[in-house]
Amino acid sequence: MRDPVVASDGHTYERVEISRVLQIYPSRSPLTRERLEPHLYPNRALLARIANHEVGVRPAGSAGGRHLAAISASCEL
């Protein structure tokens, strides 16, 4: 997962995938089948956990770990 977001059903999805669902009217949650609002919110806690995991798993010179760490740092407000 690269860009986790929380939808109005309270579940976390990959932004690209749930955005596809939101293009369908009326859009329904893939998990609960309730109607979804068009607003998505970044799941910063999950993004930070993913970044920490990637840093621990990938070799030190890997670009992926640095990319996720940079995204995580930019989300901290």
CATH number of residue 19's parent domain: 3.30.40.10
Comparing 14 with 71, the larger pLDDT belongs to 14
Domain count of the chain?
Answer: 2
Contact, 63 vs 71, CB < 8 A?
Answer: no
Same domain, yes or no: 14 and 31: yes
Q: What is the C-alpha to C-alpha distance for residues 2 and 19, in angstroms, rounded to an integer?
A: 14
| Helix (H), strand (E) counts: the chain | 3, 3
Query: What are the φ/ψ torsions at residue 30 (nearest 5 degrees)?
Result: -65, -20
Per-residue pLDDT band for 57 (boundaries 50, 70, 90) equals: confident
How many CA atoms, within 13 angstroms, populate the side-chain half-sphere of residue 47?
Answer: 23
Question: In this structure, how many other beta carbons lie within 10 angstroms of the beta carbon of residue 29?
Answer: 17
Q: Which domain holds residue 74?
A: 44-77
What's the pLDDT at 77? 40
